[in-house]
Amino acid sequence: MRMENRSLVAVLLCAVISPAAELPVRTVVLYKHGVGYFERSGPLAPGESARLDFDAESMNDVLKSLTINDQGGKVTGLRYDSSIPLEQKLNEFPFRIADGQPLASVIDQLKGARVEMEFGPQKVAGAIVSARLIPGDKDHAEREQLTLLMDSGDLRNVDLGAATSIHFTDPQLQMQFKDYLAALTSSRSKDKRSVYIDSTDAKSHDVSASYIMPMPAWKSSYRLMLDDTGTQPTLEGWAIVDNTTGEDWTNVKISLVSGKPISFISQLYAPKYIQRKGAELTEDQALAPTLYSGAVAGLAKSTAGPAGGGGRGGRAGFNAAGALDSLSQSVTVESAAPYAPRAVAPSTVADLGPAGELADLFQYSIRNPVTVKKNQSAMLPFMQQKIAARKLIIYSDTSRPNPLNAAELTNDSGLTLDGGPITVYDAGAYAGEALVETIKAKDKRFISYGVDLGTRISTNLDSRTEYARSLRAQHGTIITKNAVIAKKTYTVHNVDARAKTLIIEYPVRSGYSLIDTAKPIETARDVYRFEVKVPASGDITFPVTEENVYDQQVQVSSMNPDGLLVYVRNQSISNSARRQLQQIADLKTQIVGIDGERNRLNSEIDSTTRDEQRNRENIASLSNVAGQQSLVQEYARKLADQEVSIAKAHDRQKELDQQKVQLQGQLNGLIEKLDF
């Protein structure tokens, strides 16, 4: 009985749900920065709405980018599931339908509502008084009973289990049941949200919708077929796409865009509440008491004012015969037929779609419609054509003796080659792997894919400093131009019986410039690239010389005469400059001499002063001794002579000070006029 009533609840609620059409995916455009562009389209019946389902995390991008085109009708609005929690939504309804709840408990919440019920051919209508569940006993099963107030005023009990139909006559109540069930439906998957497109038209019409949403970035990988026979290499590109949308892509047109337009997430889905400021009329506010502070100073003035290389996969040569050596010593290699793996040839792919510029981006279009099931991935070919490439070796890491097998790719395909890994095949055999950045049309890149064990390179560094390569003076400052010369010599030893083209990458150092060196074939952001032809089974040396020229300044006033004479003897200066420096040096020598003589006089004065102090002490001690007058007089004469000597020394110091002032004035004038 209760199972029948729960089924009746489902019938009652489902009857108020209107179906919505789903628009299948027609076009997918995948980008490299984490979004995808989708186009959907399909027919709508008269009065029908379209429904689009998304993950909750996609809603911000969808609401930011969604556009609608209704062919034949008018879009009247868009509705979508709110981000409000389900419990909060259900609290707005005057009833609650719990899991496993009997029909009587649901109807009992709607006391006073008018219902129409059918019991076979009999119809009963009235207002709900109450509904209850009557327990069963050994003779009777459990049953649900409804009490109605009939139009006649009588109260009547009816058996809910016997009713074949229940209808609420209040349209608002019917709509509340519809909204309640819609909220439950939208919450079945916590991560799913629906967008409804409502339009008006009296006949069937087509509707299309486009939007962006988060998607895994598509990945590109390449196969490069090299050969020594003169055949132009072939480059083959494959795109890896992942369908994480939760629905199948059936016969979808797919395009792949290389480039990274600016994209961001704006929080549009979650409701935004703005904190508003309160405002009240002044007359509505009560007057508060005023507090006056005490004065701290009188007549105080007011001071108030207004309030941002390539991958190095090792060469993986496979030797099938060598792999058998450890199995048995009885195996004779000469008698065994060598294993020759099948040469790798370009893939056989269908006609590739067009590719071309898309604003500042580049787009590859897959010609044939593609089907990718949900939660599956696919590899799609987007290019296969001849490309300009040449084999060479590259030496960048001086800590290793061997250069790398490499190739120079020139993108003459007319396409933008998206960055990704490259598997290299040489003469039909696997040769290694490389990684390359995006290459625009007509641009070129080097890739390295293995170690060249047949070439060894050593380096030798020699450095020296050239002081005072040139000098000049201005306003008392001598500016010398010095240079640090660094020379690195590469010694290349090739043991293979074939000539090779070597690219040497030399670091670009701040402040250094190349001298006496062959010009590099190109300069990258942080390296020079030199091309060197290496003979077969031979050696070659290649020097790279650079210099760092820097200025060094010194104030002439702080230099001693010996330091100036170093510049006087420099052969790179003019005779006029030499004469100016010599005059300054001579004056500095005289001043040094004056300082020396004055220091000597200071020493004499100090020594004489000490002698005077001893004489005075002797005179004082002998003056009170009888018979020592002659000796006292002798000390007195010495003391007088010493005073004369000190006075002469002070006079000489004054003369020296005057001479020094004159010489210093002449020196300052020469230093200020120094210019060469």
Between CA 662 and CA 676 the distance in angstroms is 25
pTM comes to 0.62
Q: What is the pLDDT of residues 447-491, one digit of tens each?
A: 999 999 999 999 999 999 988 788 888 888 989 889 999 999 999
DSSP label of 262: -
Closest CA to 8 of 123, 139, 118: 118
Lowest mean pLDDT among 44-58, 81-95, 373-387: 81-95
Q: What is the pLDDT of residues 186-213, one digit of tens each?
A: 666 556 778 888 877 667 878 889 999 9
Q: What is the pLDDT of residues 87-116, one digit of tens each?
A: 767 777 888 888 878 888 888 888 999 999
Q: Is the pLDDT of residue 9 over 60?
A: no
Query: In sequence order, what DSSP letters do the residues of 16-76 get, joined into one string?
Result: TPPP-EEPPEEEEEE-SSSEEEEEEEEEE-TT--EEEEEEGGGHHHHHHH-EEEEESSEEE
Task: Give me the domains of the chain, ranges plus CATH numbers.
Answer: 2-214 (no CATH), 219-252+312-323+365-440 (no CATH), 455-558 (no CATH), 573-673 (1.10.287)
Helices and strands in the chain, H and E counts: 8, 32
Query: In sequence order, what DSSP letters do the residues of 263-332 get, joined into one string?
Result: ------SS-----PPP---GGGSPPPPP--PPPSSTTPPP----------PPP----TTGGGTTT-TT--
Q: Are 16 and 29 in contact (CB under 8 A)?
A: no
Token pair listed for 315: 């060469």
Between CA 426 and CA 317 the distance in angstroms is 11
Sign, CA dihedral 10-15-18-21, equals: positive
